[in-house]
Amino acid sequence: MIVVRDARVSVFLVFIFLVFSFAAHAGELDRFQGMDGTLDIAGGTAHIPVMKEAAQKIMTFNPKIKITIAAGGSGVGVQKVGEGLVGIGNTGRALSQAEIEKFGLKSFPFAIDGVAVAVNPENPVTELTSSQVQDIFSGKIKNWKDVNGKDSAINLYTRDEASGTREVFWDILLKKGPVDQSANVVASNGAMKLALSKDPNGIGYVGIGHVDKTIKAITLDGKIPSQENAADGSYKVTRKLYMNTKGEPQGLTKAFIEYVKGPDGVVFIEKSGYIPLK
Amino acid sequence: MALLLCAIFSSFIVLTILGFLSYFMAPVVVNGEFRELLGTIWNPASNSFGIVPMLIGSLCVSFTAVILAYPVATGLSFYCNGIGPRFLGNKLRTLIEFMVCVPTVVYAFVSAILLAPMLRSMLQHGSGFSWLAASLTLTMLVLPTIFLMINASMREASSKFRVLALSLGMTQAQTLAWVITPQAKRGFKAGLILGLGRAVGDTIISLMLAGNAAQFPDSVLDSVRTLTAHIALVVATDPNSLAYQSIFFCGLLLCVISAMTNLGLKMVSK
């Protein structure tokens, strides 16, 4: 009996394995054939889900390759790649001319990270201006009726300190302005959607890739936060995600960047809620 | 011998954890950033890293939960040990034993979907994610823990003294009040310690229900952040920042809170 069950389990595992190995673009990983060595990556937090997924696929395909990923933010990314401590330094912003000249860095943008202001689908408010959003989050506007909504108090939802989504929202839309201390803090895009979908008076923000029908994305300054508007730049609350190398990338580093910008990378980027760059 | 080894091994682990926390805290203490952490405002954007609001949040949420759960657990234990019919008592015990096995994230998720919106629409104040929502959910978590401790020691006392007390002419209620309960004192204390420990230490329930605003609550309907939720929210930040350092201090505080409740109860009972 036990033998039979074991056999079934192993057949099942083989099946799962086959499904997964065919699911990935087998050809894309071929560039790592016969390589070995270590690639260290550091920097932006928003990049991490994409980097992790790519690294896992590569290391499973070729166990001789070791890829390490560390957070630290854009500043750390520039610093470490500039000093040659890591192979790739990730940033959530374009490098300054000074940084490029000082370290001889080369940038590879691969995705757009856009943030949409969102409310409950029942909320009659569909449109806000940037300054209204700033006043709502700073606590100056406390009632929906002040922005053409119904007469009820506004419940604020923001994200944790480590969130890349919060960084974009706070830097670009709030212009680093204050966020009311009584705002609820949620730990992920998923938790934000759950909270907003249940709270008719709530307002928060999510990565554009996470918008679905459980929440309503607010039209900001007349622009709908759609993938298209984010890609062509007419919707402003976005940033590009960059991988940076010191000089022209070689070997494993080059292969990794090509892989992330290739068809497999597009899948990881979309899965993480970002828009792939052509 | 094997037991002694296990005991040595686990105390070694506990001491190692404390050692590591202190080790990571040391630089912050030495260069004086320590005072920053004792502030009352948490706002990294303006360089305020005070974690006192989180300490207060933790204490508020966990003590409220234990205060709510303890009388209920005590009542249930009395019911299962003589007040109620034996048949129902056994069923009830099985049910509560099952409650211990429910993963905390299940309580948290169900409460986030049902309890928080209900509190919001019933009480018309805030978002529902609040001190009250977290405490009520934590009550569900600590209730079975407290009950099982009390119940176990009452059963033990029952098996020794019940027949004797009844044969002396005492009623069920008298037996419970004057014989079983004093004998089960250790269980009552252990239930309090373990209940508080679980309430202070739980992360996912406060993270998903307390709202996580780093502020001092004015009412039970306000959003609060606990030490555990704070660690979960900050752990992914830049390891060189003071925000990141603060989580080691939170860890240390959590250990101190458990140690103090333990010692406090030991002192009270002597």
Residue A10 is predicted with a pLDDT of: 60
Residue A118 is predicted with a pLDDT of: 96
Q: Using alpha carbons, list the distances in angstroms from residue A209 to A227, A272, B115.
A: 8, 8, 29
Instruction: Report which of residues B64 and A47 the model is more confident about.
Output: B64
Question: Which residues have a Cβ under 8 Å from the Cβ of A184 and sit 6 or more positions away?
Answer: A155, A156, A157, A158, A195, B127, B129, B211, B212, B213, B223
Cα–Cα distance for residue pair B39/B31, rounded to 1 Å: 16
Min CA distance, A195 vs chain B (Å)?
8
Residue A218 has pLDDT above 70, yes or no: yes
**B223 contacts in chain A (CB < 8 Å):** 182-184
Rounded to the nearest 10 degrees, the angle between the axes of helix B131-167 and helix B185-201 is 170
**Chain B contact for A52, CB < 8 A?**
no
Cα–Cα distance for residue pair B39/B45, rounded to 1 Å: 15
Instruction: Report which of residues B207 and A92 the model is more confident about.
Output: B207
- Mean pLDDT of the region B188-214: 92
Instruction: Report which of residues B14 and A5 the model is more confident about.
Output: B14
**Chain A contact for B120, CB < 8 A?**
yes
**Chain B contact for A162, CB < 8 A?**
yes
Report the residue from B113, B126, B232 with minimal CB separation from A155. Answer: B126
- Mean pLDDT of the region B103-132: 91
pLDDT band at B208 (very low <50, low <70, confident <90, very high): very high
- E strand residue ranges, A132-223: 155-159, 184-186, 202-207, 216-217, 219-220
Cα–Cα distance for residue pair B61/B68, rounded to 1 Å: 11
Rounded to the nearest 10 degrees, the angle between the axes of helix A48-61 and helix A251-261 is 120
CB < 8 Å & 24+ apart, contacts of B4-13: none
Residue B5 has pLDDT above 70, yes or no: yes
Average pLDDT of chain B to the nearest whole number: 90
Could you read off the pLDDT of B136-186 as tens digits, one per residue?
Answer: 999 999 999 999 999 999 999 998 998 899 899 998 888 988 999 999 998
Question: Which residues have a Cβ under 8 Å from the Cβ of B94 and sit 6 or more positions away?
Answer: none
Residue A90 is predicted with a pLDDT of: 92
Could you read off the pLDDT of B215-266 as tens digits, one per residue?
Answer: 999 999 999 999 999 999 888 776 677 888 888 889 989 988 988 888 887 7
Residue B33 has pLDDT above 80, yes or no: no
pLDDT band at A4 (very low <50, low <70, confident <90, very high): very low
Q: Using alpha carbons, list the distances in angstroms from residue A177 to A51, A137, B167, B258, B260.
A: 31, 9, 76, 39, 41
**B117 contacts in chain A (CB < 8 Å):** 198-199
Angle at B21 between CA B16 and CA B26, to 5 degrees: 120
A183: closest chain B residue by CA: B213
- Mean pLDDT of the region A57-81: 87
- Mean pLDDT of the region A270-277: 88
Min CA distance, A150 vs chain B (Å)?
15
**A170 contacts in chain B (CB < 8 Å):** 45
**CB pair distance less than 8 Å for B240 and A76:** yes
Share of chain B above pLDDT 70, in %: 98
Report the residue from B116, B214, B234 with minimal CB separation from A181. Answer: B214
CB of B254 within 8 A of CB of B48?
no
pLDDT band at B18 (very low <50, low <70, confident <90, very high): confident
**CB pair distance less than 8 Å for A184 and B212:** yes
The one-letter amino acid code at A181 reads Q
CB of B53 within 8 A of CB of B215?
yes
Residue B38 has pLDDT above 60, yes or no: yes
Residue A2 is predicted with a pLDDT of: 42
CB of A167 within 8 A of CB of B196?
no
Cα atoms found within 13 Å of the Cα of residue A27, Cβ hemisphere only: 2
Rounded to the nearest 10 degrees, the angle between the axes of helix B185-201 and helix B227-234 is 30
Cα–Cα distance for residue pair B105/A191, rounded to 1 Å: 13
Instruction: Report which of residues A14 and A45 the model is more confident about.
Output: A45
**B240 contacts in chain A (CB < 8 Å):** 72, 76
Cα–Cα distance for residue pair A55/A60, rounded to 1 Å: 8
CB neighbours of residue B191 within 10 Å:
27
- Mean pLDDT of the region A234-253: 91
- E strand residue ranges, A177-278: 184-186, 202-207, 216-217, 219-220, 238-246, 275-276
**Chain A contact for B128, CB < 8 A?**
yes
Residue A3 is predicted with a pLDDT of: 45
**Chain A contact for B148, CB < 8 A?**
no
Residue A13 has pLDDT above 70, yes or no: no
How many angstroms separate the most distant Cα atoms in chain B? Answer: 72
Report the residue from B208, B212, B238 with minimal CB separation from A76. Answer: B238
- Mean pLDDT of the region A201-213: 91
Cα–Cα distance for residue pair A239/A168, rounded to 1 Å: 7
- Mean pLDDT of the region B114-134: 90
Cα–Cα distance for residue pair A204/A212, rounded to 1 Å: 14
Could you read off the pLDDT of B236-250 as tens digits, one per residue?
Answer: 776 677 888 888 889
| Spatial CA neighbour of B61 closest among B225, B269, B218, B173 | B225
Min CA distance, A249 vs chain B (Å)?
26
**Chain B contact for A157, CB < 8 A?**
yes
**CB pair distance less than 8 Å for A162 and B117:** no
Residue B22 is predicted with a pLDDT of: 86
Structure tokens at A55: 């690294």
Angle at A62 between CA A107 and CA A60, to 5 degrees: 90
Helices (H), A64-126: 74-82, 97-103
Report the residue from B45, B116, B237 with minimal CB separation from A198. Answer: B116
Residue A99 is predicted with a pLDDT of: 85
Average pLDDT of chain A to the nearest whole number: 87
Cα–Cα distance for residue pair B252/B240, rounded to 1 Å: 19
CB neighbours of residue A219 within 10 Å:
18
pLDDT band at A243 (very low <50, low <70, confident <90, very high): very high
Q: Count A/B contacts: CB-CB distance under 8 Å.
A: 77
Reduced to 3 states (helix: H, G, I; strand: E, B; else coil), residue B224 is strand
The interface predicted TM-score (ipTM) is: 0.84
Min CA distance, B117 vs chain A (Å)?
6
Q: How many residues does chain A have?
A: 278
